[in-house]
Structure 1
Amino acid sequence: MLKVQEIRELIKLVDQSSIDEFVYEIDGSKIQMKKNSQTTIVSQLASVPQAANAAVQSVPAAQPVPTAHVQEAAPEPVKATVNEPAAVQSNLHKITSPMVGTFYASPTPDADNYVKAGDRVSKDSIVCIVEAMKLFNEIEAEVDGEIVEILVKNGQLVEYGQPLFLVKPE
């Protein structure tokens, strides 16, 4: 099984390359990465049973809509268009997810959240956890400033590079 650092390196390499899709299988584990360069994400879930996991298809906008296929492997997060808040200003820093995983706002379910809107943070303050492959990765603020907005919900699946927080730098 690959280590988290190895997966991060693969993500960087795929991101910097000209390939659009990368699949790696070893010992029953599968890693699949897709880039969305100049494609439209379309999903058609009408005839898929609810118990099955539907995979999202990436297709060029000019092509017809494909039907979704059922995948037996681990569920993939459904990609959705996120409407950026009207108050987003260019001077705000985005704290992004360094990996694909599950966002957790607190260290345990019964504990208080690491941060909330209006809290002051330093660049080494822990703002959340992203869990990937049973590893809980603490995410730091990266800048000194004030949390303006939390862009994801507790327990939500997040993508590599997805904005998690908006911070007004000091």
Structure 2
Amino acid sequence: MLKVQEIREIIKLIDQSSIDEFVYETEGSKIKMKKHAQEVAVQQQPIQVVQAVPAQAQAAPAVQATAPAPAPQAPAKPAETPVENSQEGLHKIVSPMVGTFYQSPSPDADAYVKPGSKVTPDSIVCIVEAMKLFNEIEAEVSGEIVEILVKDGQLVEYGQPLFLVKAAGER
């Protein structure tokens, strides 16, 4: 499994090259990147073996296991560059990878942040688990958490907004 930093390096290399599509498979995981215009989209997902499936949902998982994963609708920017929501003047902290969102370091611990919490660029705001690796996600901006956009234990996509932050100095 590639580390987040290695994936980021691949993104930079693909972005600077003339390659339009890149696929990498190893040890049960698959990374697929496609360029759309001047941006790079990354999609990472584990290869799953479909086992016993309830009768009502039997057709859909079989198609998902054999068909290639659909490309993202619009490539999102990774968490290193918070996206400013011009409509509300809020920054979005987005997921840098596909995985499971966790608000706290363990089930019995308090959440890293709650609405109203103050954060700095190096504040850990959550964990995104991808293939048994727990990746701490930093705020990358100073300010106050306004809203948590996903639920604890929810699956998140690359580039999906996780938090809205009112940046320090804004009203």
Q: With structure 1 as the length reference, what TM-score do the two structures score?
A: 0.64
Specify the alignment match of 2:29 in structure 1: 30
Shift of 1:21: 4.7
Q: With structure 2 as the length reference, what TM-score do the two structures score?
A: 0.63
Specify the alignment match of 1:3 in structure 2: 3
Specify the alignment match of 2:143 in structure 1: 145
Please state whether the residue corresponding to 2:57 is helix, strand or coil: coil
User: Are 1:50 and 2:57 matched, yes or no?
Assistant: yes
Specify the alignment match of 2:51 in structure 1: none
Shift of 1:93: 1.1
Shift of 1:13: 4.3
Matched-pair identity in %: 69
What per-residue deviation string (whole Å, max 9, x for no partner) do you get for residues 62-104 of structure 1? xxxxxxx24169xx79x89xxxxxx984421111112221110
Uncovered stretches (5+) of structure 1, i.e. residues with no partner: 39-47, 56-68, 81-86
What per-residue deviation string (whole Å, max 9, x for no partner) do you get for residues 104-155 of structure 1? 0111111111111112222221110111221111111112211111111111
User: Are 1:121 and 2:119 matched, yes or no?
Assistant: yes
Classify 1:114/1:51 alpha carbon distance in 2 versus 1 (closer, same or farther; 3 Å): farther
Alignment of 1:92-131 (within 5 A): 92-131=90-129
Please state whether the residue corresponding to 1:71 is helix, strand or coil: helix
Specify the alignment match of 1:165 in structure 2: 163
Specify the alignment match of 1:71 in structure 2: 65
Classify 1:97/1:32 alpha carbon distance in 2 versus 1 (closer, same or farther; 3 Å): same
Root mean square deviation of aligned Cα: 3.6
Q: Which has the higher helix share?
A: 2
Shift of 1:3: 3.3
Q: Report the Cα distance in structure 1 between the residues aligned to 2:35 and 2:112, rounded to whole angstroms.
A: 32
AA aligned opposite 1:31: K
Q: Report the Cα distance in structure 2 between the residues aligned to 1:52 and 1:32, rounded to whole angstroms.
A: 25
AA aligned opposite 1:111: A
Q: Is the Cα–Cα contact under 8 Å of residues 130 and 136 in structure 1 kept in the other structure?
A: yes
Uncovered stretches (5+) of structure 2, i.e. residues with no partner: 38-54, 74-84
